Amino acid sequence: MESLFFYLFGGLAVVTTLLTLSSKNPVYSAIWMILSFSATAGLFVLLDAFLIATVEVLVYAGAIMVLFLFVIMMINLRTSEAERLRLSPLAILAALTFLVLFGRAVSDPGPMLGKAPNDLVGDPDVIANLMFTEYVVPFEALSLLLTAAVVGCVVLSRKKVKA
C-alpha cells in the first residue's frame, strides 16, 4: 500500500515538474509547480516527516507560489516567444555523463539504504531541539543571511534617489 502511494506521489512529482518546465504560459507553469510541491509533500508524509510536509505545503505551495503568481501578473508576463531549446553537443554530453553517474550512484548508494528513518524525525519537538542545540550556529547564521537579503532587496528595488 505504501509503495503504491510512493509511486503515485513520485510519478506525480516528476510529471508535474516536467510540465512546469514545458508550459509556455508562465501562469500554467506556476500552477504545475504548486502541484509538484504538493506531491513532494506527499512523499514526505510517507517518510513520516509530517512537519516538513506541512511546511512544504504552507510555505512553498502556499506562500511562495502565491508570491510567484503575483509577480507574474504584476509584470504581466505573456506566453513566452517560442524560443527553441538549443542543445549543444557539449550540453548533451554533460547531461549523459550525469545520467550515467547518477545511475551508478543509485544502484550502489551505500550501506545506509533501507534503514528506517528515526521514528521521531517528523516531530516538531525534535527538530526544534536540534535547531537550538546542535545546529544553533547555522540557525543564527541563517537569520543574518535573511537580513542580508532584505537589506540588499531594499537597496536594489528602491526608486532612484535624486542626489
* Binding site residues, another protein, CB under 8 A: 101-102, 104-113, 115, 133-138, 141-142, 144-145, 147-149, 151-156, 158, 160-161, 163
Q: Which is nearer to another protein, 18 or 136 (CB)?
A: 136
User: Smallest distance, Å, CB 148 to another protein?
Assistant: 4
Q: Which is nearer to another protein, 66 or 145 (CB)?
A: 145
- According to DSSP, residue 109 is labeled -
User: Smallest distance, Å, CB 47 to another protein?
Assistant: 13
Query: Cα–Cα distances in Å, from 62 out to 47, 107, 148?
Result: 21, 35, 24
User: Smallest distance, Å, CB 139 to another protein?
Assistant: 8
The gap between the terminal CA atoms of the chain, to the nearest Å, is: 67
Cα–Cα dist 142/130, whole Å = 15
Q: Which is nearer to another protein, 82 or 106 (CB)?
A: 106
User: Smallest distance, Å, CB 147 to another protein?
Assistant: 7
Query: Which residues fall within 8 angstroms of residue 72, CB to CB, at 6 or more apart?
Result: 26, 27, 30
Cα–Cα dist 7/42, whole Å = 11
